[in-house]
């Protein structure tokens, strides 16, 4: 019986879980910022949009102050994963830890910090964070859960049932990797291209009429990713190219998080998304030159932010080259 | 004897030629904008920096008003080349036309519009355009000239001598293509990467220590370009990778023009630079997936500018994907 859930990281996804789960469990939240925890304790957490909730939560930025929990849901950004896992180290070894991050490999990082049974998850939900205590629920799509290592499937199912009971959509799968890899390849093909071009995920991403259309690049990235999946023995749950085509045919173009990160000059999740594909490619000996190119370009973009305006002004201006 | 030179396109390079050549020839200038021509006629053209000049020039935006000339130097941006060549059509068939644009293929486009003897040129000069009538001369590097088709080498040499006589650096080469291709491959490797990342041409472009360092991508682009050159029967004048390494070791980082174009949201020269390499690659059957990827990314970036802020705000915001 799951009665106490700790949400680690209260970004969009963490807040959506916390805001809903509080209607069926005791929810605690571990935040990075003290003032975020204070605001949550004072005002609670509001969900608007696809559902309306006003949740009471117990938030803290101090891992030592956490009350015991049955399940921790780690929903940080890639850059916050290691500190989050480290902050749980030594705490509540009987609890189950669920990871719901982009990319693959989050489970290994959690495992380095404790012996908890781990549940892998990918989510297709999306939302907008309006304030520290208000999140809007936009796409009410599913979260898929699966066992990691020897975690009993029964525990996965129990957690999925709890998530469904609180009003979100979830499904327990005996093997999550096919879905995780489908989403990984989709994200690795779409996110860096959006971040580089400044385009939201619109019909450019599936256009293949002209030889220089962007869809060829996205398709090439998908094909490289599929070759890695095949070499890793993964049979994909969904074809990432079809996911891409379908998504670009929706009415409104989705604004991928890596594009938001680049616009805000925040460190991107390239290492968890493209990086994990590059690591699997190296392990399996599959060449992925296009993913390597996008990885290098995004890292170059991040490096450019370190060069402030004054350095840029000192750069030699040019004409003709 | 070259006595009358018409400069077509008064950007940085055109202005540097006009400002210097006016000390040894009659110089006319064909501009795109009327007010640019008016300002040049009223104020003349000032060169500062590596040399100081105050040139008297006869400018017009009306091709029909051009006085006869012995040589036309076409120094437009890629996007201005076709209209410029069309504006010369039917005029002064005894004149020689020199093209000094990025990439390769400018000569063919000029040829479509007239039977003039053509001189190919690449320039390594650079400068900054301060106003319509003031250009700063920054890098006083060479311009290389060579015959196109059956243009006599003697005419190339005469033009190079005239350029040297006016205070610029120039050299006549019996075959320009090795130099043109070296510069093309260098530009195709450096310009789009700078434009995508926002980095000036700094040591990131030659870094190959870590597997994800940007130098690997630049090196891969250079290697693809060299394979195309080899297939096209060109023996390169300089190794583009060495050009890249040397340039990134100069004290101050160069700010490539395509990065300036992207920052200013101007259409880039991708089609003349990377595009001409892609066309040669297709003709010779050499695969160039990295150049195709950069071409698609730059085109995607250009397409993103068509989406104004309001469209972007309507795009579905997200968390978690």
DSSP structure class, residue A267: -
User: What was the pLDDT predicted at A251?
Assistant: 67
Closest chain A CA to residue B215: A296
pLDDT above 50: residue B320: no
Residue that the structure tokens 């700078």 belong to: B194
Rounded to whole angstroms, how far apart are CA atoms B78 and B73? Answer: 14
User: What was the pLDDT predicted at B310?
Assistant: 44
pLDDT above 60: residue B145: yes
Task: Please indicate if any CB of chain B lies within 8 Å of the CB of A187.
Answer: yes
Helix axes B289-304, B274-284, angle to 10 degrees: 140
Q: Which helix (H) or strand (E) segment is B90 a member of?
A: none
Which of A296, A299, A305, A312 best tests the B interface by mutation, with the highest count of B CBs <10 A?
A296
Rounded to whole angstroms, how far apart are CA atoms B102 and B106? Answer: 8
Rounded to whole angstroms, how far apart are CA atoms B107 and B113? Answer: 10
* Sign for the pseudo-dihedral over CA of B87, B91, B92, B94: positive
Give the model confidence (pLDDT) of B64-75 as tens digits.
Answer: 999 999 999 999
Cα angle A18, A19, A21; round to 5 = 60
**Residue in A124, A198, A212 closest to B304 by CB:** A198
Cβ–Cβ below 8 Å for A254 and B13: no
Q: Stretch B75-89: mean pLDDT, rounded?
A: 93
Rounded to whole angstroms, how far apart are CA atoms A89 and A80? Answer: 15
Task: Please indicate if any CB of chain B lies within 8 Å of the CB of A131.
Answer: no
Rounded to whole angstroms, how far apart are CA atoms B55 and B21? Answer: 9
User: What was the pLDDT predicted at B2?
Assistant: 93
Give the model confidence (pLDDT) of B189-225 as tens digits.
Answer: 999 999 999 999 999 999 999 888 999 999 999 999 9
Cα angle B276, B280, B284; round to 5 = 170
Rounded to whole angstroms, how far apart are CA atoms A115 and A97? Answer: 10
Q: Closest approach of chain A CAs to the CA of B127, in angstroms?
A: 5
Task: Please indicate if any CB of chain A lies within 8 Å of the CB of B316.
Answer: yes
Residue that the structure tokens 């869809």 belong to: A215
**Residue in A102, A204, A320 closest to B126 by CB:** A320
**Residue in B13, B299, B321 closest to A126 by CB:** B321
Q: Which residues of A touch B312 (CB under 8 A)?
A: 200, 255
pLDDT above 70: residue B319: no
pLDDT above 60: residue A260: yes
**Residue in B100, B187, B198 closest to A301 by CB:** B198
Q: Stretch B2-30: mean pLDDT, rounded?
A: 97
**Residue in A124, A213, A300 closest to B199 by CB:** A300
Rounded to whole angstroms, how far apart are CA atoms A319 and B166? Answer: 20
Mean pLDDT across chain A, nearest whole number?
92
Torsion of CA A259, A261, A267, A270, to 10 degrees: -30
Q: Which residues of A touch B262 (CB under 8 A)?
A: none
Helix axes B177-197, B274-284, angle to 10 degrees: 120
User: What was the pLDDT predicted at B272?
Assistant: 85
**Residue in A126, A289, A301 closest to B318 by CB:** A126
Q: Which residues of A touch B296 (CB under 8 A)?
A: 212-214, 216-217
pLDDT above 60: residue A321: no
User: What was the pLDDT predicted at B112?
Assistant: 97
Cα B34 from chain centre: 23
Closest chain B CA to residue A293: B217
Comparing CA positions, the residue from B53, B95, B73 lying closest to residue B6 is B73
Using DSSP, state whether A105 is helix, strand or coil: coil
The more confidently predicted of residues B21 and A126 is: B21
The more confidently predicted of residues B124 and A270 is: A270
Give the model confidence (pLDDT) of B222-281 as tens digits.
Answer: 999 999 999 999 999 999 999 999 988 876 677 888 999 999 999 999 988 999 999 999
* Sign for the pseudo-dihedral over CA of A248, A253, A254, A257: positive
Comparing CA positions, the residue from A190, A161, A181, A299 lying closest to residue A230 is A181
Give the model confidence (pLDDT) of A195-244 as tens digits.
Answer: 999 999 999 999 999 888 999 999 999 999 999 999 999 999 999 999 99
pLDDT above 70: residue A7: yes
**Residue in B13, B191, B217 closest to A319 by CB:** B13
Cβ–Cβ below 8 Å for A307 and B217: no
DSSP structure class, residue B239: -
Query: In this structure, what are the phi and psi dihedrals at residue A131, rounded to the nearest 5 degrees?
Result: -145, -175
Closest chain A CA to residue B135: A319
Cβ–Cβ below 8 Å for B314 and A252: yes
Q: Which residues of A touch B11 (CB under 8 A)?
A: 319-320
User: What was the pLDDT predicted at B255?
Assistant: 84
Cβ–Cβ below 8 Å for B292 and A138: no
Helix axes A177-197, A240-249, angle to 10 degrees: 50
What DSSP string describes A269-283? STTTTHHHHHHHHHH
Alpha carbons within 13 angstroms on the beta-carbon side of residue B289 total 15
**Residue in A197, A257, A320 closest to B319 by CB:** A257
Q: Write out residues 163-182 of A within 8 Å (CB-CB) of B.
A: none
Q: Stretch A119-137: mean pLDDT, rounded?
A: 93
Three-state secondary structure readout of A153-191: HHHHHHHHHHHHHCCCCEEECCCCHHHHHHHHHHHHHHH
Using DSSP, state whether B44 is helix, strand or coil: coil
- Class of residue B162 by CB neighbours under 10 A (exposed 0-12, middle 13-18, buried 19+): buried
Q: Closest approach of chain B CAs to the CA of A252, in angstroms?
A: 6
Using DSSP, state whether A206 is helix, strand or coil: helix
Q: Which residues of B touch A296 (CB under 8 A)?
A: 212-214, 216-217
Rounded to whole angstroms, how far apart are CA atoms B254 and B111? Answer: 33
Q: Which residues of A touch B321 (CB under 8 A)?
A: 102, 124, 126, 187, 254, 256-257
Q: Write out residues 239-258 of A within 8 Å (CB-CB) of B.
A: 252-257
Q: Which residues of B touch A197 (CB under 8 A)?
A: 297, 300-301, 303-304
User: What was the pLDDT predicted at B218?
Assistant: 98
Q: Which residues of A touch B214 (CB under 8 A)?
A: 296-297, 299-300, 303
Strands B45-49, B53-55: pairing is antiparallel
Q: Stretch B282-303: mean pLDDT, rounded?
A: 97
Q: Which residues of A touch B251 (CB under 8 A)?
A: none
- Please list, in sequence order, all residues whose beta carbon lies within 8 angstroms of the beta carbon of residue A155, skipping any fewer than 6 positions away: A96, A117, A119, A147
**Residue in B129, B255, B320 closest to A316 by CB:** B255
pLDDT band at B137 (very low <50, low <70, confident <90, very high): very high
Closest chain A CA to residue B123: A320
Closest chain A CA to residue B192: A297
Give the model confidence (pLDDT) of A85-126 as tens digits.
Answer: 999 999 999 999 999 988 788 999 999 999 999 999 999 898
pLDDT band at A313 (very low <50, low <70, confident <90, very high): very low
Give the model confidence (pLDDT) of B162-177 as tens digits.
Answer: 999 999 999 999 999 9
Q: Stretch B57-70: mean pLDDT, rounded?
A: 96
Q: Percent of chain B scored above 90 by pLDDT?
A: 82
Rounded to whole angstroms, how far apart are CA atoms A293 and A295? Answer: 5
Q: Which helix (H) or strand (E) segment is A14 a member of?
A: helix A12-21
B320: region left, alpha or beta (phi > 0 left; psi from -120 to 50 alpha): left
What DSSP string describes B260-290? HHHHTT---STTTTHHHHHHHHHHHT---HH
Q: Alpha helices of chain B — where are they, by DSSP H?
A: 12-21, 34-43, 78-88, 106-111, 153-165, 177-197, 214-231, 240-249, 257-263, 274-284, 289-304, 309-314
| Residues A101, A81 contacting (CB under 8 angstroms) | yes
Cβ–Cβ below 8 Å for A297 and B139: no
Query: In this structure, what are the phi and psi dihedrals at residue A316, rounded to the nearest 5 degrees?
Result: -65, 120
Task: Please indicate if any CB of chain B lies within 8 Å of the CB of A124.
Answer: yes
Q: Alpha helices of A166-266 — where are they, by DSSP H?
A: 177-197, 214-231, 240-249, 257-263
| Residues B99, B80 contacting (CB under 8 angstroms) | no
Query: In this structure, what are the phi and psi dihedrals at residue B34, rounded to the nearest 5 degrees?
Result: -55, -45
Alpha carbons within 13 angstroms on the beta-carbon side of residue A155 total 18
Cβ–Cβ below 8 Å for B316 and A255: yes
């Amino acid at each position: 019986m799951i009665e106490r859930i700790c949400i680690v990281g209260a970004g969009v996804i963490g807040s959506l879980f916390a805001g809903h789960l509080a209607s069926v469990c005791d929810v605690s939240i571990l935040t990075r910022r003290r003032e975020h925890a204070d605001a949550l304790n004072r005002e609670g957490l509001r969900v608007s949009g696809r559902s309306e909730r006003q949740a009471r939560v117990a938030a803290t930025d101090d891992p030592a102050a956490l009350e015991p929990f049955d399940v921790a849901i780690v929903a940080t950004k890639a850059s916050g994963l290691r500190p989050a896992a480290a902050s749980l180290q030594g705490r509540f070894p009987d609890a189950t830890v669920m990871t719901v991050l982009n990319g693959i490999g989050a489970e290994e990082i959690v495992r380095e910090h404790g012996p908890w049974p781990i549940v892998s998850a990918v989510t297709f939900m999306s939302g907008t964070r309006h304030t520290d205590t208000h999140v809007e629920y936009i796409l009410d799509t599913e979260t898929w859960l699966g066992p990691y290592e020897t975690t009993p499937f029964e525990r996965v199912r129990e957690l999925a049932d709890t998530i469904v009971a609180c009003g979100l959509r979830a499904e327990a799968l005996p093997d999550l990797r096919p879905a995780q890899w489908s989403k990984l390849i989709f994200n690795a093909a779409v996110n860096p291209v959006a971040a580089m071009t400044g385009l939201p995920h619109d019909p450019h991403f599936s256009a293949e009429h002209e030889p220089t259309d962007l869809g060829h690049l996205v398709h090439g990235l998908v094909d490289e990713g599929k070759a890695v999946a095949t070499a890793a023995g993964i049979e994909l749950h969904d074809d990432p190219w079809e996911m891409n085509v379908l998504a670009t045919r929706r009415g409104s173009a989705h604004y991928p998080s890596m594009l938001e990160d680049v616009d805000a000059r925040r460190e991107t999740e390239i290492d968890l998304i493209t990086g994990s594909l590059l690591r699997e490619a190296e392990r399996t000996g599959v060449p992925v030159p296009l993913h390597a190119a996008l990885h290098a370009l995004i890292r170059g973009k991040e490096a450019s932010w370190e060069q402030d305006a004054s350095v840029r002004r000192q750069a030699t201006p040019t004409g003709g080259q």
